Amino acid sequence: MGNQKKVPLYMQLEAIEQTKIQKQQQYQEILKTPKDLSKVFSKNIELIFAKKSYQYVYPEIFNKIKADFEQLKEWKYSNHLWAYKALLQVLAKKRCFDLLQNYEYLASLKKIALKSNYFIREIETWERKSHNVTKQWTDLLKHLFVEYPVPAFLNSAWLTDKDNYMQWYIDLAQGKSVRKLSGLPFTMTKKMAHAFMQAPSYLNIHEALRYAQVIGLGGDDYLAWYINGSYLGRNNFVNERFWSEVIEFFVKAGMFDMEKVEEIVDYIREQYTQNNGYSMKGRTINSVLRQTQEWHQTLNRRLNRGGNYVWKTCGIDGFIWEEGTGVKNKFYEIQELLSTNELKTEGAKQKHCVASYETRCYKGQCAIFTLKSEEFGMIETLITLEVDLNSKTIVQARGKYNRAMQPKEKHLVMLWAQNENLKVSKWV
């Protein structure tokens, strides 16, 4: 290290100035970007695939295409490269530029190209039949893969990174039975298979599987809705043998307030976490409802007994929003809760059971945030938020007594989610 020469200050300043000039040039190119993507798209594609410099416009689009090209040109993907280029060229030729500017659909093209060995029709024979971007995209999927009907919710397979979901789409599209799909999380009966194919289009694939499971076991759409709104709608089928028993328990429970499903699932989940020998055998819905209520009351009584855990931040930043001026200033803040005591305090203020999440927060499975407001020196707790850290999704948002968010609160939460690149569950 002693032999290294120190760069003179004037050279450092020159390098900094040169970097500034380059960034300014790039910015000027962006300002000159033609409103019509068609004027640059085809030329830039040819330059990217020729490994040459391309016009620095629409950077989000062309940087993504270049990154996907770089990956596909590796030897193990090289035979799919032609399909990727053909997809881009055909969409450009058919003037589907709104589709190409949709980042999710653009990203799906590489995944589609990687399955080009399953194409049943030529890419070049696809015809645009709609001005609707989503319709264009789904029509393209049908053209390339589909011989037999595929449920609409499975289109979302191509917007995920789960190869087995994409393969399910292809297998069903080409005549394979639902029950013979590889990697199903539970044994699929004939009734479940039928329900899976009929699942509502607004569900994601995980939720459609739960829907099929509930219907196949004898439940109804109402119960399936509440089960999908609970932890079971997003748990990736972990410990599925146990949770299948829980779902069967709900189906056989008879009449009860299904709005309690989420609370019951939280209670059962805590019992199973503490003792994996916990079972639903011999239990009735009335006894479980009573135990759930007692557990919630116990959590509230623990408020002043000290904390069990303290954990590190999950890495998702908080959020501050200011409205008004002078004495009429009002502040909103979202901040992470990082200890058992903080969860207990939040639960006591909001009259809910967020303290039950201490173990999951400590293990890094989820994070709990609180939205507060401050006006005239008075601080009010508004909303408690749960973020699933595996999927970076806000999965719960509850106010006092588990009320839903008000429009203003939802607006602030959506702004925060956008800033932190978080997804928001439809159940929120």
Q: Which residue has the higher pLDDT, 124 or 26?
A: 124
For residue 117 the two structure tokens come to: 């060995």
Which amino acid is located at 411 in the chain?
H
Q: Show Cβ contacts of residue 378 under 8 Å, excluding neighbours closer than 6 positions.
A: none
- Across 52-56, average pLDDT: 86
What is the model's pLDDT at position 116? Answer: 96
Please give the full DSSP string across 64-108, using - where no structure is assigned. HHHHHHHHHTSTTTGGGHHHHHHHHHHHHHTT-HHHHT-HHHHHH
- Written as six digits, the tokens of 292 are 């759930």
Predicted pLDDT of residue 409: 94
Torsion sign over Cα 255, 236, 239, 163: positive
Contact 223, 254 (CB under 8 A): no
- Least Cα distance to 288 among 304, 276, 271 occurs for 271
pLDDT at 2: 43
Cβ pair 372, 380 in contact under 8 A = yes
DSSP-derived secondary structure letter, 31: H
pLDDT tens sequence across 254-305 = 889 998 999 999 999 999 999 999 999 999 999 999 999 888 766 655 554 4
Query: What pLDDT is attached to residue 364?
Result: 92
User: What value does the CA radius of gyration of the chain take, rounded to a whole number of Å?
Assistant: 26
Q: Is the pLDDT of residue 32 over 70?
A: no
Confidence of residue 54 (pLDDT cuts 50, 70, 90): confident
Given a cut of 70, is residue 60 above it in pLDDT? yes
C-alpha to C-alpha distance for 21 and 27, rounded to whole angstroms: 10
* Mean pLDDT computed over 25-49: 73
**Window from 2-11, 325-334, 347-356 with minimum mean pLDDT:** 2-11
More confident residue, 100 or 330: 100
pTM: 0.72
Which distant-in-sequence residues (6+ apart) come within 8 Å of 175 by Cβ?
A: 147, 148
pLDDT at 37: 80
Size of the chain, expressed as the number of residues it contains: 428
Average of per-residue pLDDT across 126-143: 96
Averaged pLDDT, 305-325 = 83
All structural domains of the chain with their residue ranges: 13-145, 189-302, 319-424
225 vs 304, which has greater pLDDT?
225
Distance CA 385, CA 367 (A): 8
Residue 306's pLDDT band (cuts 50, 70, 90)? very low
Residue 69 pLDDT > 90? yes
SS3 of 248-299: HHHHCCCCCCHHHHHHHHHHHHHHHHHCCCCCCCCCCHHHHHHHHHHHHHHH
Q: Which residue has the higher pLDDT, 377 or 261?
A: 261
Q: What is the DSSP-derived secondary structure letter of residue 148?
A: S
